[in-house]
Amino acid sequence: MLIQVLLSGIALGSIYGLVALGFAVVFKATDVFNFAQGMFVAFGAYFAVTTINLLGLPFPLAVAAIIAAAAALGVIIHIVLIQPLSGRPMLSVIMLTIALSIVMRAVIEILYGVQSRTLSTPMPTGIFIIGDVRVSQLHLVAAGVSWLCMAAFGAFFKFTSVGLLMRATADGHEAALVSGVNVKVMNRLAWAIGAGLAAIGGLFLGQLQIVSTELEHIGLLALPAVVIGGMQSIPGAIIGGLLVGLIEQLSATYISPKSSDILVYVLLLMILMVRPWGLFGQRELGRV
């Protein structure tokens, strides 16, 4: 049923959009293509297991703890790893994030063991039945929360002074420095946001399936999402995520499960050839 497929595509796409948003914020601010974003998703899921299932914290407190821990992790990584490498060629920084994801995966497996873990949260797991259509409540909550976060950050970037300052800094580092903006703080904030958003995505994905380091691969689907939508654009990342989710579900249903991957990447290639700055990005002056 088309509606069913569309709904699941939107639900999944919302989570992708969330992770992609985190990705875009980091990229826009610090010019880093963070291949470790997938591992932040996994980190969020595992930390959720610790706070909710192992420590038994009340749910709202646990969620706050997860976001805080992820944000702290993002900031630490920026201070220790990204800042020393500012100004280096992009490839080195990409490689650094890849090495980081290797280390994170190993550390998680040492701490939690290689077995996958179950995440059970107080989030509703029932079904809504509206006529012929059945919607999983968890999907609804995931989509709803994702949209809430994305809207909140959209407003943050558009209306608050800190948000505007972040955008300005991202658009021009020198100008920001000259204006007395503490660029370092802005960058760290960006990394905190990026990691935090990924962790929320991990919280949902962990409950939708099972918590394992394989969640990293789902997080990596945010990459084409961000590029298709536009790497320098916040709404672009969100739309990109939705598109990827929808394409995945539609092609898996009506063509074949294998085709979903390839369609996403063919679309990615086409966008890069025709409109490399993405659907919603800004065309950059000079040779792209």
Q: Which of 88, 124, 172, 177 binds other proteins (CB under 8 A)?
A: 88
Helix (H) and strand (E) counts in the chain: 12, 2
* Token pair 């809504």: residue: 128
Closer Cβ to other proteins, 158 or 275, answer by number? 275
Q: Contacting other proteins (CB under 8 A), which of 42, 193, 203, 205?
A: 205
- Print the binding letters for residues 258-287 with other proteins: x by CB under 8 A, - otherwise: x-xxx--xx-xx--xx--x----------x
171 binds other proteins (CB under 8 A): no
Asked if 105 is part of the footprint of other proteins (rule: CB under 8 A), the reply reads yes
Q: Which is nearer to other proteins, 21 or 218 (CB)?
A: 218
Contacts of 1 (CB under 8 A, 6+ apart): 132, 133
Tell which one of 156, 208, 235, 279 touches other proteins (CB under 8 A).
208
90 versus 151: smaller Cβ distance to other proteins:
90
**Pick from 56, 113, 131, 180: which binds other proteins (CB under 8 A)?**
113
Considering the rule CB under 8 A, would residue 3 count as an interface residue with other proteins? Answer: no
218-223: long-range contacts (C-beta < 8 A, 24 or more apart)? 218/38, 218/41, 219/19, 219/37, 219/38, 219/39, 219/40, 219/41, 219/42, 220/35, 220/37, 220/38, 221/16, 221/248, 221/264, 222/16, 222/19, 222/20, 222/22, 222/23, 222/37, 222/38, 223/23, 223/37
As a whole number of Å, the CA-based R_g of the chain is: 19
Q: Answer yes or no whether residue 85 interacts with other proteins by CB under 8 A.
A: yes
Interacting stretch for other proteins, rule CB under 8 A, among 58-66, 167-175, 185-193, 209-217?
209-217
The smaller minimum CB distance to other proteins, of residues 165 and 250, is found at 250
Residue the block writes with tokens 């399936």: 209
User: Is-contact 108 46, C-beta < 8 A?
Assistant: yes
Question: Can residue 140 be called a binding residue for other proteins (CB under 8 A)?
Answer: no
Binders of other proteins among residues 239 to 258 (CB under 8 A) are: 248-249, 252-254, 257-258
